[in-house]
Amino acid sequence: MSAASVTGKFDIIIVGAGFAGMYMLYKAREVGLSALVLETAGGVGGTWFWNRYPGARCDVESMQYSYSFCEELQQEWQWSERYASQPEILNYANHVAHKFNLFRDIRFNSRVSSAIFHEGERVWQLSTDDGEHYYAKWCVMATGCLSAAQRPNIPGLGTFKGEIYHTGNWPRQPIDLAGRNIGAIGTGSSGIQVIPELAKLAKHLYVFQRTPNFSIPARNQPMDSAYEAEWKQSYAERRTAARKMPAGILSHIGTNSALAVSPEDRLAEYERRWAAGGTGFTAAYSDLLKYEDANSTAAEFVRKKIREVVTDPAVANLLAPVNHPIGSKRICADTDYFATFNRQNVTLVDLRANPLQEVSEHGLTAGTQLYELDTLVLATGFDAITGALSKIDMVGRQALSLKEKWQNGPNTYLGLMTSGFPNLFIVTGPGSPSVLTNVIVAIEDNVKWIADCLAYLKTRGAETIEATASAEEGWMEHVGQAAEGTLYIKAKSWYLGVNVPGKPVVFMPYVGGVPTYQKICEEVAADGYRGFTIEVHTEGLRTR
Ligand code: N01
């Protein structure tokens, strides 16, 4: 049956056809549920569907940034580079959707605008922008952590006569940026990837920087066939080993304190990691994200490297981050980012000294200077982790709205459910490790847990499952305490929501790491879903 001809009633509705939604659909079928996926975009891939900007690339190695649930899939797929580019990851997502026949249950171009729980019938009603209504007993929000692009509130932005592109919502059709005067705002992971590519195309590129970021060379390269073969020989074992690592990434994690080794040994280790490339740099020592004095050894090393690459000392100084510990904001991986500022056609504009005043018809004014531009690229990030959920008008029991419930910050139990919203699961929700990991590992673990839970509920004829308020309170306290013990809270980052005006400032991901989190989730399930209320319908009575 094609998605266009199905009726609006299902066992389960999944919102989002990114890596989380696709795997959830696969697992829901295994449980024997009728399922529909609703997706805003015109295709699968989630964040990799939208982030099509030049230079978009994953910073987790290809051999690891992929599904592990199917041996045949991981053996047959061939990655062409150490770090896969956006088009290749999108091809992979499409390959998976074809291989497992997922398309037939996905309805594209369907943005869910509301999700309402009807308490009497114990059913979720999901309504889309185009006026369709769908009903299901179970609902899974697979809406992604970095899927709600954040446009800055700059005076006059709407008056600009040139084109404006957001990296997180890049057009599908090719755009010609050659020979243009381009302005780029934002120097996070997206900015650091797009800026070197824009510089190659632009007549002149102006980079408007408010806060510099730490970035490590990616050292991307064509896939080494021997390396690929090594992985494929023992893929399953390697995936298991990766799940024993805090970030779910198989890597060399230093167990020493940065301060327990000699300065010479420390320097050698940083040099080795700098040469190897990639975000594993901050895993050199066990306390880099715990103590500022340990952290500053790594931060100073990177600042020195930036000063070595950038020829103009004043520009190098502006690019060297000093206002946050290295790794406390998501560390970036780049290809020639710092060297880009040696180009004649690139100018760095320091927005701290010359604050952004306005955008007008022909350009952007920072300080007192007008920069005339043809194109403006916004690499200004996302309303992360909760943004996609808060765009949906979600109403649970007793007309409780999620916006109201989360007005002081998101509350969940294990990141998987929120009390007052029965039968509604979240994949990589706030309070789970999500963005601090190889997110495909986090997705697979969450989805598998949800599918096992649904099978358990099905066997028992359960009507509802809901997190208890006390389990949720206890979990959020634990999530908060775990973050307090780290340097993550020392940076004004999107992890805390500070990049979105008016968003409550709360550290959203769980820093406990994949193994600890997964152990807790498994124990909760083994203990009959401790902390959840399960309602079973027996002979006309509902029991808990
Ligand atoms: O967003 P960001 P991103 N005026 O929030 C600036 C993942 N990702 O899209 O720091 C001027 O990090 C803002 O400045 P400041 C990855 O997890 C992964 O780059 O607020 N500037 C900052 O420089 C990443 O962390 C990959 O002072 C303004 C930038 O915009 C996450 O996505 C690739 C401004 C936003 O940086 C988000 O990264 C890409 C304003 N009004 C993304 N508003 C890979 O896998 C914002 N800024 C490699």
The predicted-structure confidence for 69-86, as pLDDT tens digits, reads as follows 999 999 999 999 999 999
Q: Is the CB of 169 under 6 A from ligand 1?
A: no
Query: DSSP labels for 155-200?
Result: TTGGG--SEEEEGGG--SS----TT-EEEEE--SHHHHHHHHHHHH
Helix axis angle, 514-526 to 439-459, nearest 10°: 0
Q: Determine which residue's CA is closest to atom 20 belonging to ligand 1.
A: 499
> What is the residue type of 357?
Q
Residue 1: the pLDDT is 35
> What is the residue type of 236?
A
Number of neighbouring beta carbons within 10 Å of residue 516:
14
Instruction: Please check the confidence at residue 26 and state whether its pLDDT lies above 60.
Output: yes
What's the distance, CA 24 to chain centroid?
17
Q: Which helix (H) or strand (E) holds 536?
A: strand 532-538
% of the chain with per-residue pLDDT over 90: 97
Confidence band, pLDDT 50/70/90 cuts, at residue 6: very low
Q: Is the CB of 195 under 6 A from ligand 1?
A: no
pTM of the model: 0.96
196 CB-near residues (< 8 Å, 6+ apart): 55, 334, 335, 336, 337, 339, 340
| Strand 393-395 to 424-426 pairing | unpaired
Comparing CA positions, the residue from 288, 185, 211 lying closest to residue 246 is 288
Comparing CA positions, the residue from 311, 377, 305 lying closest to residue 160 is 377
> What is the residue type of 431?
G
What's the distance, CA 65 to chain centroid?
13
| Strand 133-141 to 163-166 pairing | unpaired
Radius of gyration (C-alpha) of the chain in whole angstroms: 24
Confidence band, pLDDT 50/70/90 cuts, at residue 246: very high
192 CA to centre of ligand 1 in angstroms: 9
How big is the chain, counted in residues? 544
1 CA to centre of ligand 1 in angstroms: 42
Confidence band, pLDDT 50/70/90 cuts, at residue 543: very low
What's the distance, CA 384 to chain centroid?
7
Confidence band, pLDDT 50/70/90 cuts, at residue 387: very high
Instruction: Please check the confidence at residue 5 and state whether its pLDDT lies above 50.
Output: no
Q: Model confidence over 45-59: pLDDT tens digits? A: 999 999 999 999 999
CB 369 within 8 A of CB 354: yes
Residue 418: the pLDDT is 98
Residue 408: the pLDDT is 96
Confidence band, pLDDT 50/70/90 cuts, at residue 3: very low
Q: Model confidence over 290-315: pLDDT tens digits? A: 999 999 999 999 999 999 999 999 99
Q: Is the CB of 324 under 6 A from ligand 1?
A: no
517 CB-near residues (< 8 Å, 6+ apart): 414, 432, 433, 445, 510
Instruction: Please check the confidence at residue 4 and state whether its pLDDT lies above 50.
Output: no
Confidence band, pLDDT 50/70/90 cuts, at residue 537: confident
Q: Is the CB of 446 under 6 A from ligand 1?
A: no
First to last CA, the chain: 37
Q: What is the largest CA-CA distance in the chain?
A: 79
Q: Model confidence over 339-374: pLDDT tens digits? A: 999 999 999 999 999 999 999 999 999 999 999 999
248-264 mean pLDDT: 96
- The DSSP call for residue 104 is G
> What is the residue type of 497?
G
Q: Is 370 left (phi over 0), alpha (psi -120 to 50) or beta?
A: beta
- Tokens representing 296 are 């500053």
Q: Is the CB of 190 under 6 A from ligand 1?
A: yes
Q: Is the CB of 497 under 6 A from ligand 1?
A: no
The SS3 assignment for 516 reads: helix
Confidence band, pLDDT 50/70/90 cuts, at residue 7: low
